[in-house]
Amino acid sequence: MTVQSLFDLTGKRALVTGAGRGLGRAIAVALAESGAELIICSRSSDDVFSVVGEIGRIGGKAEALVQDVTDIEGFARAISAQAPIDIFVNNAGTNRPKPIGEVTVEDYDAVMDLNLKAAFFAAQAVTKRMTESGTRGSIINMSSQMGHVGAANRTLYCASKWALEGLTKALAVEVGVYGIRVNTICPTFIETPLTRPFFEDPAFKEAVLSKIKLGRLGQPSDVTGAAVFLASDASAMMTGSALMLDGGWTAE
């Protein structure tokens, strides 16, 4: 096989959750550009069909799945009805940064229900579908550098991402016998329309950049290549691992 062919996703079906905007959208488009057929999953129908249309305009194939991943049973039913899935990007997530003394039960439930509970049962549904169909697939859990370090005002987010890292390692052990690989992507702060307003605070931006050894914020393109790598045969011997895209944040 050539190096180029290792990254070719032609003939593969890829499901991306939280694919309506931000990183999920960018990853979905990148997988389509690499030849995969996409299933675009988001709870917002407007966002879903916008991404489906974008992929169509670049000559790719995509179908819509309007589904809230926190509806555990609904998501499982939707996946069981799907044709075999080769690639799953478990991307839907949220954050509510606050000092621990201000974190409410509602905050806890909102973050943990999406970042951990929904991610856990989404992975359960997809691995079940993969094993049923005999698919030697790739699962990519969207984690964070905060799944490897701590930070003020992020006790809740860190708890969810550290747990996701543990889930990834345990699941990789369990489903490796079926040829299913499970890894995480762990980005630093990525500049998107959602995060850009935070960086209008000069003190916050300076604090973030002081930890990123490469001296700049991450861009969606810094993550999309990693997603294609983990989805493809280029990473065929990689499972139970975390791909750090943190600009050196966790190096010290």
Q: Range with the lowest mean pLDDT among 108-112, 192-196, 221-225?
A: 192-196
Percentage of the chain lying above the pLDDT 90 cut: 96
Domain-wise residue ranges, the chain? 3-242
Residue 1 has pLDDT above 90, yes or no: no
Q: Where are the alpha helices (DSSP H) in the chain?
A: 3-6, 22-33, 45-57, 72-80, 105-112, 119-133, 155-175, 202-211, 220-231
Confidence class for position 230, pLDDT limits 50, 70, 90: very high
112-121, 128-137, 189-198, 229-238: least confident range: 189-198
Q: Which two tokens stand for residue 221?
A: 């393109």
User: Given this model, what pLDDT does residue 110 score?
Assistant: 98
Q: What is the pLDDT of residue 8?
A: 97
What's the whole-number mean pLDDT along residues 138-166? Answer: 98
| Mean predicted lDDT score pLDDT of the chain | 97
Whether the per-residue pLDDT at 96 is higher than 90: the answer is yes
Stretch 21-34: mean pLDDT, rounded?
Answer: 97
pLDDT score of 244 more than 90: yes
pLDDT confidence of 177, banded at 50, 70, 90? very high
pLDDT at residue 194 is higher than 90: no
**pLDDT > 90? residue 195:** no
Residue 192 has pLDDT above 90, yes or no: no
CA distance 205 to 129: 43
End-to-end Cα distance, the chain: 38
Q: Which CATH class is domain 3-242?
A: alpha beta
CA distances from 198 to 148, 190, 195 (A): 22, 11, 6
Greatest Cα pair distance, the chain, in angstroms, is 55
- Predicted confidence (pLDDT) per residue in 33-80, tens digit: 999 999 999 999 999 999 999 999 999 999 999 999 999 999 999 999
65 phi and psi angles, rounded to 5 deg? -135, 95
**Is the model's pLDDT at 220 over the cut of 90?**
yes
Q: Annotated catalytic sites, by residue?
A: 157, 161
Nearest to 7 by CA among 138, 161, 156, 166: 138
Q: Decide: 88 and 59 in contact? Cβ < 8 Å.
A: no
Q: What percent of the chain has pLDDT over 70?
A: 100
